[in-house]
Structure 1
Amino acid sequence: MPSPWSQRRDVSPENSRLLIERAHEELLAGNLADERLADVRALVRESWRRSLERLVGAESLPPLDLDASSLAEYRRTHPLVGVIDMVRGLLLPGGADESGVIVAVGDEAGRLLWVDGDRRVRTLTGDMGFVEGANWSERAVGTSAPGTAIELDRSVQIHGAEHFNRLVQPWSCTAAPVHDPETRRLIGVIDVTGGAEAATPQAQLLVDATARAIESELLVARLRSRATPSARPRRTTRRVEPKRSTLRVLGRDRALLEVAGDGAETVSELGARHAELVLMLAVHRQGLSAERLAELVYGDPEATVTLRAEMVRLRKALERIAPALVPESRPYRFAAGVETDAHQVLSLLDRGAHRVALAAYKGDVLPDSVAPGVEEFRDTVRMALREALMAEASVDVLLAFADTDAAADDADLLRLCLSMLPARSPKRAGLVARIERLDSGS
């Protein structure tokens, strides 16, 4: 079956892109009474005003509200988990890889739970943070189809320059809210994002029809389960998220341990040795023998006496600040999962969110540590970031990476940036000078 998005259709927004861009600049400059704002659709104009009032950044990346483990757990119990195949079948019938658009399913708060579609488009939109786990509500990113559809509780189309966030303005999108079929409570949002073809009248009809089909399917499934006494009722309520623990080690020698849950969060700074131990247990979730952990931290598998003494001190420290994280022994391991900000960067790279991953990369893992296990993990994260960006990131993201300490002396990266820049780009001269300095060894 051919994809409904495979052929571009002409889109005629109410106003030209240039007029909308000028109105947007006047709005950001604080000229709220400027006559150019009259050239903008009322729906968009009011959304822009809400974005300003909420202090949304015009070039900020969306927050990543759900890390990999939290996202997986949340999706398993979300009311829309059983209709994802239906969404793909209705909106990507010709196959995802060549559809030219991406399809996202989010919750009622605007957090994207599933993102599928054209691989090239996913890579490009990932750079602006349109990835699973990211918050695309109006409060987070301003005017966009999914966020504004939730805000207004109706289907919405946003064309290019109508987006509040400049990073999103190359794209167009159509979104529709999804409701509980009985209570009519908002439970999610369906969005299609791509070029002009993603915001046509036909696109709005298709996305609206998909949302109604989802609600009908949810109702049928619910009635079927009630009619079958032996059938176990399908869970549509959400589990309370368990406590989440995050170890922040990027660009830090004294790591921060954040424990969140039950409406509270504690943040504790760990000493250098405790940071190394907690990091190794977070990286090796299956557990480590005393000999292996001693080798990773002290460089000597026979340093088990020293290790055990330090583990006693670590347990006492964790009993005070995070009792659930007191490690087990034989092997040494955490019973509860501990995420790290370094793993979050790797997860973002896997999702194609290169710009967000780079923004989250605050520096090397525990940069002053000489523990062999830390050094190995540090190199793994740095190389994964470099290889992913060089393989798929845009030139703007690569240039931003080239300005970090991790890539300042990377001549191959600089040459790649030079090859991707237009011939008349003013940035070429600076790159050439940097490359020449590196080649000369000065």
Structure 2
Amino acid sequence: MDASTAASLSASRTAHERFITSPGTAPGTRGLVAESWRRCAQCAVRPDGSRLPPLLRTTEELRAYRTAHPLAAALPMLREVLGTGAADDGHVFAVGDADGTLLWVEGDTRAVGRAERMHFVAGAAWSERQAGTNAPGTALELGRAVQIVTGEHYSAAVHGWSCAAAPVRDPRTGRVVGVVDLSGGPTIATPPALAAVRAAALAAEAELARLRTPQGDPMRLYALGRDSVLLECAGRMHRLSPRHSEIVLALALAGHGATGERLAVDLSEREVPASTLRAELTRLRAVLGPELLGSRPYALLRPVRTDFGDVAELLAEGRVAEALAHYAGPLLPRSDAPAIVEQRRCLEQQLRGAVLASRDARLLRRWVDAGWGGDDAPAWSALAHTLPGGSPQRAAAAARARALGLENGVVPQARRHAAVLQRPRS
């Protein structure tokens, strides 16, 4: 802790002591804190910390209440956005309802243990009326994000903590449905902590909007053997640019949406400036419309079916011939986006392995006759072994295998075959 921070924290404690001894006066205190203290004094909250926030719900009541609460659906996303970092940094992450009752309190084990001693636990009431000035309660009181540091808390029991919290609103009605909070040591008394809870609240609102969006017609993506994606929805066909094709496929692969940082990693091995990515997503939203593309996190807002997903499902069911018939070529073959390259390689390996294992001459012939299988030496050898002895076709297949470097069934260094295309369709 630097000298200026220490001086500020000391001043806040001094101001608190003066307010207690001379009610109504709070010199040197931030306006929102002084106003909160006055509200707490009127509600007869004890400033000495002798009365901790009450536990309002039993374990069974809390379990049922949490299951039915709107923020339960956003909890996995909130844990990813805020909870993991809190645990790693020695902090506590909490989600509460619109009345200030804490629903989930998680994070660093030692910090959670300290929080329990002051009743900062699931089921406890942390509204201003019950707990005094604190980030979750004051954020709900004011309807905006706030930060409360050490001595700014009305109850002396919380003077060892700093916290930042932001309300979460129902995206349809604008009414507050809950609050997200970070609590911990001096690093919570910083602008990044306040920005983090604001971002988490916005992400929760976006998740609620996504989950409540009428599903309607599903999207259909065609991306096998193509330079760009065709997106079909509600009878309309969108032919996307190569970059927009990569973004849409990355979101389809992400499933429940992705943050800008995650999307940037999925799209390029090089750093993608946040401003560049936002601009691309803005242009894509103009093409698709806000009913199809959401933000915070970025997500496709309709159920998605894909041609490569169909192939994977057929393979999982052991229907190799049908999978090969549906395989129009490698997934977006000219893309070097890491997420797409990985999916392309995985699907090719699964399909090729199934074809070779089938020992079916018809399937092997279709594989080696395709642009992506023409240089697949093991496939030519497998085809030769499935054909009748003395057959001219067997001799031709064996000759092709030898020409590609396969001698007596021993495979030399493997050739890359999957990305070879005759003529990718646009």
TM-score, scaled relative to structure 2: 0.48
Of structures 1 and 2, the larger Rg is shown by: 2
Q: Which has the higher contact order (CA 8 A, sep 6+)?
A: 1
TM-score, scaled relative to structure 1: 0.47
